[in-house]
């Protein structure tokens, strides 16, 4: 019995290499455009991401294989760690902002005369 597993077949896209790169280029151009046009923050980037993923799915010759690869890539431990860190940073930022902690920190630093790099160091140590 052969216990070796065959490597998965490479993804094929309509348009070849250009079709494979088109969603990535679309995403980069969209994010740069949003950034340069004055988008307030990263919340405006998700429609570009969804559109790029949709474009990739439409250009993939085998959509099931494409979906399996996307889910497989997202289930890598390092990707999950980055997503979790991003989500927790958002939660912590909302808590700090909602509790008035940021305003209290600015007031305390101003009262003590802490400015510039000292303020950055104090913020890092407190948080």
Domain range annotation of the chain: 1-75, 76-127
Phi, psi of 60 (to 5 degrees): -70, 135
* pLDDT tens for each residue of 21-77: 999 999 999 989 988 887 767 777 888 989 999 999 999 999 999 999 988 888 888
pLDDT at 1: 52
Q: Beta-carbon neighbour count of residue 19 at 10 Å?
A: 17
pLDDT digits (tens, 9 = 90+) for 76-89: 889 888 888 888 88
Give pLDDT, residue 55.
97
pLDDT of residue 25: 97
Q: Give yes or no for a contact between 88 and 127, defined as CB atoms under 8 angstroms apart.
A: no
What is the per-residue pLDDT for 30?
92
Asked if the model's pLDDT at residue 127 lies above 60, the reply is: yes
Computed over every residue of the chain, the mean pLDDT equals: 86
Mention every residue, 6+ apart, whose C-beta is less than 8 A from residue 63: 57
Residue 2, pLDDT > 80, answer no
């Amino acid at each position: 019995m052969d216990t070796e597993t065959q490597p998965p077949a490479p993804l094929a896209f309509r348009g070849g290499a250009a079709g494979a790169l088109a969603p990535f280029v679309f995403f980069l151009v969209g994010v740069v455009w949003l950034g340069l046009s004055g988008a307030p923050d990263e919340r405006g980037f998700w429609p570009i991401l969804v559109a790029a993923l949709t474009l990739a799915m439409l250009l993939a010759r085998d959509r099931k294989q494409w979906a399996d690869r996307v889910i497989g890539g997202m289930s890598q431990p390092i990707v999950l760690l980055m997503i979790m860190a991003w989500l927790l940073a958002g939660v912590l930022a909302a808590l700090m902002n909602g509790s008035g902690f940021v305003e209290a920190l600015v007031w305390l630093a101003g009262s003590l005369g802490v400015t510039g790099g000292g303020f950055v160091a104090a913020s890092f140590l407190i948080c």
